[in-house]
Amino acid sequence: MRISEFIVPLSISAEAYQSLYRGDARQVFAHDTEGRKIQFPASSLRSFVTHEGIEGIFVIRVDENNRLIEIRRQRG
């Protein structure tokens, strides 16, 4: 199985995430650190939400069919 990894900086305000959480938008569209466009389910970010929203650099791993395997906050 071929796995691709993307490093994605995210800064989503609490208000913006609320619209994602309500289902107004189901997908997050972002650019990784190499400028590639990436899209993934908004629901995959639930565990990272704080009162301020979502902030940080995330590692997103997908399989050869571009299906989400994992999202984790990058340490360091």
pLDDT digits over 21-73, tens only?
A: 676 778 899 999 999 999 999 889 989 989 899 999 999 999 999 999 999 99
Q: How far is CA 37 from the centre of its chain?
A: 12
Q: What is the Cβ-side half-sphere exposure of residue 53, based on CA atoms within 13 angstroms?
A: 13
In angstroms, the CA 4 to CA 48 distance is 21
Query: How does the average pLDDT of the chain come out, rounded?
Result: 91
Kindly list the structural domains of the chain, giving each domain's residue range(s) and its CATH number in brackets, ordered by start.
4-73 (2.40.50)
In this prediction, residue 7 carries a pLDDT of 98
In angstroms, the CA 67 to CA 76 distance is 26
Q: Average pLDDT in the 9-17 region?
A: 90
SS3 category, 17: helix
